[in-house]
Every structure is written in C-alpha cells, then in structure tokens.
C-alpha cells in the first residue's frame, strides 16, 4: 500500500466513523429529517429482497445506518476490503445527503447557504468514495484481467492447433 492510500483512506473514513457513532448513539436529532427517506425503506427492501425483515421505525433505521457507516468506515480506514467498504459508504451517503441537506427546501438565505455547503461537501465525499471504490492499488482490475485472459486463451488455442497440425503431419508421414 502506498503512503498516500495509508493516509487518505483514514482521512476519508473519519467523517463516517464519527458521524456513524453519533447517529447510533443519538438518533433522535436525525429522525425528523431522515423520515422522508426511512418511510420508503421497507417498500424498497420488500421489492428487492422479499421476506427480509426490515424495521420500519425511523430511529432504528438511523441507528442501523450509523452502524453501517462505522463498520464500513473502520474497514476503509484499516484497508480491509477497501473497495467494498468505499462503495457501501457511498451507498449510505446518498440517502443521508438527500434527507439531511435539502438546501432546495430552505426559505432562509443563510440556512440555504449552510445546507448547500453541506450538500456539496457530501457530494465531494461521494466522489472520493467512488474513486476509492474503483482503486485497484495499481493491480489490474477485473475488466483488464478478463480481456487479457481471453487474449491468452485465444493465443494458447492457436498454439495448440498449430502443434496438433504438426503432429498430424508427422503421424501421417510415419504411416504412409
């Protein structure tokens, strides 16, 4: 791991660990804003994962989201499954940002400006998480490996076919 990754991952993860702990310990302050998103969670889960038990209580969902952010944040910070944890954090950040910083709903100019800053700060963090989610640490990614693996298979098949033709000519010469 490079020094940059060693430093950047904990920096990126820090807000999620701190914010997640706060959400898990003190969800009541976040519930009123979160309700516009948490109301939709049971229906979404029922559509994509029928039978999966999902709490409908907004406070519980805020705590679960906080716990997910803490676990994924620690995972990213320590370099354990960094790509997966970055993508999990990105997925949790989208509804958090939408519910927590709806600057377009603010009537007061100062409040709107503050929410706008927080909204775009989260969008910036989302960009960093997406980059971390695709960071292969200098190693070939799956798409590269698949393309080169297919190329290697074609090359090997051609070599085997050429070898088989040569052996067939030798066998034909010995027989006839």
Q: What is the pLDDT of residue 141?
A: 66
Q: How far apart are CA 9 and CA 75, in angstroms?
A: 9
**pLDDT value at 5 more than 70:** yes
Q: What is the pLDDT of residue 125?
A: 95
* 54 pLDDT tier (thresholds 50, 70, 90): confident
Q: What is the pLDDT of residue 140?
A: 72
Secondary structure of the chain: what % helix, strand, coil (to 5)? 80, 0, 20
Q: What is the pLDDT of residue 152?
A: 82
Q: How far apart are CA 42 and CA 50, in angstroms?
A: 10
Residue pLDDT, tens place only, 25-41: 999 999 998 888 888 88
Q: Which two tokens stand for residue 10?
A: 């904990």
CB-CB contact of 70 with 17 (8 Å): yes
Q: How far apart are CA 156 and CA 163, in angstroms?
A: 10
* 1 pLDDT tier (thresholds 50, 70, 90): low
| pTM for this model (two decimals) | 0.74
Rg for the chain, CA atoms, rounded: 26
As a whole number, mean pLDDT of residues 83-91 equals: 95
């Amino acid at each position: 791991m490079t020094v940059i990754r060693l430093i950047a991952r904990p920096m990126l993860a820090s807000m999620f660990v701190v914010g997640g702990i706060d959400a898990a310990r003190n969800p009541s302050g976040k519930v009123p804003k979160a309700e516009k998103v948490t109301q939709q969670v049971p229906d979404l889960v029922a559509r994509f994962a029928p039978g999966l038990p999902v709490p409908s209580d907004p406070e519980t969902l805020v705590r679960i989201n906080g716990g997910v952010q803490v676990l994924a944040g620690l995972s990213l910070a320590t370099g354990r499954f960094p790509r997966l944890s970055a993508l999990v954090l990105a997925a949790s950040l989208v509804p958090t940002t939408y519910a927590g910083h709806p600057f377009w709903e603010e009537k007061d100019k100062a409040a709107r400006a503050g929410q706008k800053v927080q909204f775009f700060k989260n969008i910036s963090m989302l960009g960093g998480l997406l980059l971390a989610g695709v960071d292969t640490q200098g190693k070939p990614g799956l798409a590269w490996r698949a393309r080169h693996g297919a190329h290697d298979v074609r090359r090997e098949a051609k070599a085997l076919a050429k070898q088989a033709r040569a052996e067939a000519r030798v066998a034909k010469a010995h027989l006839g």
